[in-house]
């Protein structure tokens, strides 16, 4: 039985076609979220059906999550991001007890109990610190692509500290660092440490346990994942395709209306 999961995020829209019999992913894809959200969704679905050589009647049910989850009219299940990311991570790591999800505009820490259910969570969606937006601002200032920050930070020889906890003030601090000839490598590493300190502060209010799974688009940053493990004193597992974890969870949890 094929199920479709859609995660309509603030930055990217992701889809997963999931086989509920073999418990496997048949297809996944993502692209930037269009101004017209449905354009992004419909294009991804069309490409998925073409790639799998199926029609809409082959899909048993559709689950939708993310910022735009209420905008897709054909959904059988409209699901919270919290439950979807937990389910997506449990697919890969049944032993997971904590999920760190960092997206473009928010960050979420999810505690999972021994039965695989969400026990508690904390969420930051009011401030860009600790989210992908901070990385985007850093890359813009350093004149590189966001994807290049991990390699850049990997060559850092210093451990500098950003004092600002607000992205607006941190940007001014970064400009000041650049003016004093601090290397882009050291600035990138300082930003990574700033993000993980913010995440650790969020986690302080939550009763969490390892194993920890790091997911969301930001989890593709290898250096940030390394910094995360160092800050938390625990190895952070990562899903093979962190960007699609929410969509995978939406497919797993989808039920016929």
Domains of the chain: 1-93+242-257 (3.30.420.40), 96-238 (3.30.420.40)
- Would you state the structure tokens that stand for residue 163, as one six-digit string? 């004092």
Whole-number Å distance between alpha carbons of 58 and 219: 32
Tell me the residue length of the chain: 257
pLDDT at 87 over 80: yes
* Residue 156 DSSP SS3: coil
- Would you state the structure tokens that stand for residue 16, as one six-digit string? 């997963």
Whole-number Å distance between alpha carbons of 183 and 155: 10
Whole-number Å distance between alpha carbons of 122 and 110: 7
Q: Which among 16, 46, 12, 39 is positioned nearest to 29, based on CA atoms?
A: 16
Side-by-side strand order, sheet with 107-112: 118-124, 107-112, 98-102, 212-215, 236-238
Q: What is the mean pLDDT of the chain?
A: 93
Does residue 211 have a cis bond before it (omega within 30 degrees)? yes
CA distance readout (Å), 221 to 84, 151, 201? 22, 9, 20
Whole-number Å distance between alpha carbons of 58 and 61: 9
Spatial CB neighbours of 202, under 8 Å, sequence gap ≥ 6: 107, 109, 122, 124, 130
Greatest C-alpha distance within the chain: 61
**Is the pTM of the predicted complex or chain greater than 0.85?**
yes
Whole-number Å distance between alpha carbons of 60 and 6: 14
On the 0-12 / 13-18 / 19+ scale of CB atoms within 10 A, 175 is: exposed
pLDDT at 170: 87
pLDDT at 103 over 90: no
pLDDT at 15: 98
What angle (nearest 5°) sits at the alpha carbon of residue 217, between those of residues 212 and 218? 70
| pLDDT band at residue 192 under the 50/70/90 scheme | very high
pLDDT at 163: 83
pLDDT digits (tens, 9 = 90+) for 26-63: 999 999 998 888 999 999 999 999 999 999 999 999 99
Whole-number Å distance between alpha carbons of 183 and 195: 19
**Are 133 and 105 in contact, with CB atoms under 8 Å apart?**
yes
| pLDDT band at residue 144 under the 50/70/90 scheme | very high
pLDDT at 141 over 90: yes
More confident residue, 116 or 86: 86
Q: Average of pLDDT values for 169-185?
A: 92
């Amino acid at each position: 039985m094929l199920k479709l999961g859609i995660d309509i995020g603030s930055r990217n829209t992701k889809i997963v076609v999931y086989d509920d019999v073999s418990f496997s992913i048949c297809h996944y894809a993502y692209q930037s979220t269009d101004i017209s959200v449905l354009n992004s969704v419909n294009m991804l679905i069309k490409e998925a059906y073409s790639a799998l050589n199926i029609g809409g009647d082959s899909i048993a049910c559709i689950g939708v999550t993310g910022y735009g989850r209420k905008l897709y009219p054909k959904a059988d299940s409209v699901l919270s991001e919290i439950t979807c990311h937990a389910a997506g991570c449990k697919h890969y790591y049944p032993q997971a007890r904590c999920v760190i999800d960092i997206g473009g505009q928010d960050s979420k820490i999810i505690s999972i109990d021994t039965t695989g259910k969400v026990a508690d969570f904390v969420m930051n969606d009011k401030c860009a610190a600790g989210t992908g937006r901070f990385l985007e601002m850093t890359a813009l200032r350093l004149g590189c692509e966001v994807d290049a920050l991990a390699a850049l930070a990997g060559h850092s020889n210093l451990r500098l500290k950003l004092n600002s906890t607000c992205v607006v003030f941190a940007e001014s601090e970064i400009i000041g660092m650049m003016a004093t000839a601090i290397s882009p490598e050291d600035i990138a590493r300082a930003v990574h440490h700033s993000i993980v300190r913010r995440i650790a502060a969020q986690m302080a209010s939550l009763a969490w346990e390892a194993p920890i799974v790091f997911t969301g688009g930001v989890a593709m940053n290898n250096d940030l994942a390394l910094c995360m493990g160092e800050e938390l004193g625990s190895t952070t597992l990562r899903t093979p395709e962190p960007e699609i974890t929410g969509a995978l969870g939406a497919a797993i949890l989808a039920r016929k209306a």
